[in-house]
Structure 1
Amino acid sequence: MAAYDDLMAFQRETQALAQVAGRLGWDQETMMPRDAAPQRGAEMAAMEGVLHARRTDPRVADWLAAAETSGEVEVAQLREIRRSYERASKVPAKLASEIARVTSEAQGAWAAAREADDFAAFAPVLREVVSLKREEGAALSAGGDVYDAMLDDYEPGATAVELSAMFDALRPRLVALRAAVLDAPAPPALQGRFDEGAQMKLARQIAKAFGYDMSMGRVDKAVHPFSSGSGLDVRITTRTSEDDPFNCIYSTIHEVGHAAYEQGVDRRYLLTPLGQGVSMGVHESQSRIYENQIGRGRAFTGWLYGQMRDAFGDFGIADEEAFYACVNRVENGFIRTEADEVQYNLHVLLRFDLERALIARDIEVDDLEAAWNERFEADFGYPVDRASNGVLQDVHWSVGLFGYFPTYTLGNVYAGCLNEAMHAAVPDLNGALAQGDTTAATDWLRENVQRHGGLYAPREVIERACGQAPSEAPLLGYLEEKFRGIYGL
């Protein structure tokens, strides 16, 4: 076991340094002075250089060759370390550091361009990012599919071809459901002004109601909500809008789903390759089931209605049933993160197709805004009014997250499967949720998904939890039943 023990000690130090690098990213999005971006880029590049050197250290190969173990956990640790080593070894150290530097600076350029609604101002740095990521993808793919190599960073084992088949099965029924719902009379929309301090107080209350441990976390504000960290330090951000408290509430619940996953991983795996979520698809299954199947369900919104009245007084919605319909109101909109469940995946599929085309050089950065606007109008039936509502709305491409977007829809598919299995397994789940008690739901998810961390492959996690291979059918059935009910179809 000597080689295995030496390897794990080395890995724990590497994981600790990666957490420090993540904290630099958290600070950049929440508290860093605006003009510190160039220095932060240099800091991130230096950290990436250190991490890349450790991940490709020749001793890792020697330890892997010498390690002898047969336990399930130990075998999984070696599998993940080997995978990381082989991937990192394909990417030159100079390229890894340059990507870290450029994407750190690009994040600030994106935020400024988004505020100014000026894609042309962002395009030069995005061209750098895309060029570097294409180079990285080519190195990782070693002659294979470049986009699949990028996707493997976020959903190991998945391919664009299989995801396209799944998404092609989703699209027609989603489009048909969207058309039917938008042709029906809509429930009343939420109106009024909602104090932003009261929103943040309620958001923290709801985070705790979903089991987020604030002794190992915190809630801050950011332009684009996110979760950061793992183990004993898992932080989330949300955002507020004076006329839309649902934005704050459901962004918070979504990020709590991510954070609960990280906090729920078996502590024996702390600061090891297994000590974090296994993939972004499985991660997204947790954030989406917390946000949607639980958080937007009839039972939980009945409790939330009372909390909203306590926080804001009478806000014009007559009762719990009307509030449930209001929370789930389907309406035209531009923003993916604010989209209802019916339309959300259509937003994701747009991005999936565009980024595949971008990486394949079928389009270039200078074509991206026009391509986005054309596709959006074709899918949604109305034009994009400004860049911040279109191609500049998401932070992902600025920080080089190509291959990430499809995991959002894959996470929704996984969430549909988990929701079906959870309701079959947990008696009177809705009765508890109607009291604001999410414990039965979150305990089931922790036991069946979260505690495993990276022990099993992504699809295996879902199969073990649900008793069958993941399929888009439960998600489609859930959406059609829910929204046909709300809209009387």
Structure 2
Amino acid sequence: MNAFDELMAFQRETEALSQIAGRLGWDQETMMPRGAAEQRAEESGALQAVIHARRTDPRVGDWLAAADAPDQAGAAQLRLIRRSYERTQRVPADLATALARLTSRAQGVWAEARSKDDFAAFAPVLAEVVRLKREEGQALAGDGDAYDALMDEFEPGATGAQLQAMFDEMRPGLVALRQRALSQPEHPPVSGKFAAQKQMQLARELARQFGYDMTRGRLDKAVHPFSSGSGSDVRITTRTSEDDPFNCLYATIHETGHACYEQRIDPAYALSPLGQGVSMGVHESQSRIYENQLGRSRAYCGWLYGQMRDRFGDMGVADADAFYRAVNRVHRGFIRTESDEVQYNLHIMLRFDLERALIAGDLSVADLETAWNDRFKADFGYDVTRASDGCLQDVHWSVGLFGYFPTYSLGNVYAGCLHEALRQTVPDLEAQLADGDLTAATTWLEENVQRHGGLYEPRELITRACGAEPKAAPLMAYLDTKFGALYPT
């Protein structure tokens, strides 16, 4: 074999090991017995050490120097392998292993602390995670910004300064729209008891409807909904509340967007750098457009209302219009994943500022809970009264995902651009959604985004799909139009 072929064969084994590592994480959040946490930490650390050794193997550098790309896809493979190789080389192996062991253990500590609303029980291990992530960021950044270096893993090319400017542009409009909605009588939610088993049955049907291939995936429950895997094994989770069926159904649609992205990448890219989503911002664009612009649209809500009425009977709403208002109600609340579209990005801006301060050393973990609660009161106008509604609600920091949160808002921006382009391409989309037909929408997303995997850089991919550089204006226009009608002056 030539250098390119040897490199790709080696890389295929590395990608397979990475998938196994991801499966350990899935098992930890779904099936693993609680008493196995310490052993799982050792297992995860050992596997991460092997993966790190392969990613820094000197032969990779030799192959990269000698390899000639046979085509466009090959050139993209080399670009991504080189980026990963250079990035991984900067992180000492003992640090990568320590992080894998620590975050595996910290995840269990977080879950226990969250269940007891006890931030103090989580703070020591979080402080250690922050210390190691700061060390990792500094190793990656050299003379640059440590937070930018961490964020680059999730959204290549993006910087904290760029995102801060985007957030500053978005914030006034979001705050004004929020104040407008909350100054009016609140749309009533659905009411009643919604059996968990029936929720899960409907959730599986919705996942299939949006294109999720259950022969190559599965839907389970977890504390925090997530998607895991790529190619022929892509798994999703959700959660249920008998008082709030939307928690389950829309979390499922959201994770289905992530999963369909992974399942629909060109099979020729399987177990290679191109065989996964190109960035978390693009990934989030798929989950958010599935969940919001499609799943929460007036047309689709009309169809979903009939499905839920048949399964659950009276839901305390008079008709499909009242159901649509219930699905999209702007309301006071604490939980990011349960937030409406208007306030969601304000949750992200809070986390973005706090985690940047943690990595910069401007905020200590000991002061995090107070800082969170103070910032939440300033942004949302009411007090956080328990840690599970505040700084313990998200799993991300426990598993070391610093730099991940801003990609949620970037994904919303990308979704706004994609939705605008989709509606121009499929002018009768409303009629299709009213029939519960997602085929045209999901096919367009497959053809223009999902099948390419990592072939293009994130902004290039969105630009090619939409015919213009991504910007916040389409998202803000969509929100103004939708919620302006729901909450007229």
| Residue aligning to 2:224 | 224
TM-superposition CA deviations, 1:25-84 (whole Å, max 9, x none): 000000000010000000000000000000000000000011012511000000000000
| Residue aligning to 1:8 | 8
Which runs of structure 2 are paired with 1:121-160 in the superposition (5 Å)? Answer: 121-160=121-160
SS where residue 224 of structure 1 aligns?
A: coil
Letter in 1 for 2:265: V
| Residue aligning to 2:239 | 239
Which runs of structure 2 are paired with 1:178-217 in the superposition (5 Å)? Answer: 178-217=178-217
SS where residue 234 of structure 1 aligns?
A: strand
| Residue aligning to 2:406 | 406
TM-superposition CA deviations, 1:193-237 (whole Å, max 9, x none): 111100000000100110000000000000000000000000000
**CA displacement at 1:128 relative to structure 2:** 0.8
Q: Which runs of 4+ in 1 moved over 4 A?
A: none
What is the distance in 2 between the residues matched to 1:477 and 1:381? 25
| Residue aligning to 1:427 | 427
SS where residue 44 of structure 1 aligns?
A: helix
Letter in 1 for 2:411: G
Q: What is the percentage of aligned positions where both structures have the same residue?
A: 70
Q: Could you tell me whether the CA contact under 8 Å between 1:265 and 1:452 is conserved in 2?
A: yes
Aligned: 1:346 with 2:346:
yes
SS where residue 274 of structure 1 aligns?
A: helix
Letter in 2 for 1:147: Y
What is the distance in 2 between the residues matched to 1:311 and 1:385? 35
TM-superposition CA deviations, 1:365-397 (whole Å, max 9, x none): 001000000000000000001000000000000
**CA displacement at 1:186 relative to structure 2:** 2.1
| Residue aligning to 1:322 | 322
**CA displacement at 1:285 relative to structure 2:** 0.2
Higher mean C-alpha deviation, range 424-433 or range 174-183: 424-433
Aligned: 1:464 with 2:467:
no
What is the distance in 2 between the residues matched to 1:388 and 1:147? 26
What is the distance in 2 between the residues matched to 1:141 and 1:280? 20
| Residue aligning to 1:374 | 374
Instruction: Give me the CA root mean square deviation.
Output: 0.7
Q: Could you tell me whether the CA contact under 8 Å between 1:387 and 1:393 is conserved in 2?
A: yes
What is the distance in 1 between the residues matched to 2:9 and 2:134? 34
What is the distance in 1 between the residues matched to 2:192 and 2:39? 42
Q: Could you tell me whether the CA contact under 8 Å between 2:69 and 2:78 is conserved in 1?
A: no
Q: Could you tell me whether the CA contact under 8 Å between 1:185 and 1:487 is conserved in 2?
A: no
SS where residue 179 of structure 1 aligns?
A: helix
SS where residue 161 of structure 2 aligns?
A: helix
What is the distance in 2 between the residues matched to 1:99 and 1:43? 13
What is the distance in 2 between the residues matched to 1:37 and 1:187? 43
Q: Could you tell me whether the CA contact under 8 Å between 1:462 and 1:469 is conserved in 2?
A: yes
| Residue aligning to 2:390 | 390
TM-superposition CA deviations, 1:163-215 (whole Å, max 9, x none): 10011000000000000111112222111111110000000010011000000
Unaligned runs of 5+ in 2: none
Q: Could you tell me whether the CA contact under 8 Å between 1:114 and 1:393 is conserved in 2?
A: yes
What is the distance in 2 between the residues matched to 1:442 and 1:253? 12
TM-superposition CA deviations, 1:122-180 (whole Å, max 9, x none): 00100110011011101000111000000000000000001100110000000000001
Letter in 1 for 2:76: A
| Residue aligning to 2:113 | 113
Which runs of structure 2 are paired with 1:55-134 in the superposition (5 Å)? Answer: 55-134=55-134
What is the distance in 2 between the residues matched to 1:324 and 1:25? 36
SS where residue 235 of structure 1 aligns?
A: strand
**CA displacement at 1:322 relative to structure 2:** 1.1
Q: Could you tell me whether the CA contact under 8 Å between 1:107 and 1:399 is conserved in 2?
A: yes
What is the distance in 2 between the residues matched to 1:5 and 1:355? 41
What TM-score, normalized by structure 1, do the two folds share?
Answer: 0.99
Higher mean C-alpha deviation, range 65-74 or range 107-116: 65-74
What is the distance in 1 between the residues matched to 2:211 and 2:311? 20
What is the distance in 1 between the residues matched to 2:178 and 2:392? 25
Higher mean C-alpha deviation, range 226-235 or range 185-194: 185-194
What is the distance in 2 between the residues matched to 1:315 and 1:292? 21
What is the distance in 1 between the residues matched to 2:387 and 2:314? 36
| Residue aligning to 1:161 | 161
Number of aligned residue pairs: give it.
489
| Residue aligning to 2:278 | 278
**CA displacement at 1:407 relative to structure 2:** 0.2
What is the distance in 2 between the residues matched to 1:48 and 1:267? 26
What is the distance in 1 between the residues matched to 2:160 and 2:347? 17
TM-superposition CA deviations, 1:294-331 (whole Å, max 9, x none): 00000111100011011101212111111111100010
| Residue aligning to 1:299 | 299
TM-superposition CA deviations, 1:8-28 (whole Å, max 9, x none): 000000000000000000000
What TM-score, normalized by structure 2, do the two folds share?
Answer: 0.99
Unaligned runs of 5+ in 1: none
